[in-house]
């Protein structure tokens, strides 16, 4: 159905979710690449959704946290070639600021979800350290 002469990148959305304690929500990846590593909640956009809807859908699927799409503020677009070993992938990153502490549980392809102080982040998959830096210096 979709046939084009030129190759196209894959499109994902990632969420930098921050609670009132200045902690960021991370998921432990259940699948390759980077299986077992910590990463931002996010994933691939489906053909029938907007990128903003993708962000909040992936957040809910991977952590159980539901937010309104209008609460997700655009951080930026991250498109460095090689950022994802699966192929040419561009991500649109969003920041979500929560006004209270919220419990998160790993779901879908996330083996675990956990809050980390922004000052004590573990090593992260992909370019997620760069995304968190962009999301937290812009505020």
Residues assigned a catalytic role = 112
| CA–CA gap between residue 136 and residue 9 (Å, rounded) | 27
Cα(97)–Cα(67) distance, rounded to whole angstroms? 10
* Spatial distance between the Cα atoms of 139 and 127, rounded to a whole number of angstroms: 19
Neighbours of 17 (CB within 10 A): 26
Q: Is 11 helix (H, G, I), strand (E, B) or coil?
A: strand
DSSP at 40? -
């Amino acid at each position: 159905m979709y046939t084009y002469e030129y190759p196209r990148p894959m499109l994902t959305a990632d969420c930098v979710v921050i609670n009132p304690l200045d902690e960021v929500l991370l998921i432990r990846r259940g699948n390759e690449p980077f299986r077992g590593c910590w990463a931002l909640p996010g994933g691939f956009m489906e053909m029938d959704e907007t990128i903003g809807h993708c962000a909040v859908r992936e957040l809910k699927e991977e952590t159980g946290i539901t937010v309104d799409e209008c609460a997700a503020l655009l951080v930026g677009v991250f498109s460095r070639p090689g950022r994802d070993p699966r192929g040419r992938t561009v991500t649109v990153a969003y920041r979500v600021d929560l006004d209270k502490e919220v419990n998160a549980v790993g779901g879908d392809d996330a083996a675990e979800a956990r809050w980390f102080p922004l000052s004590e982040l573990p090593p992260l998959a992909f370019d997620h350290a760069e995304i968190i830096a962009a999301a937290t210096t812009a505020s």
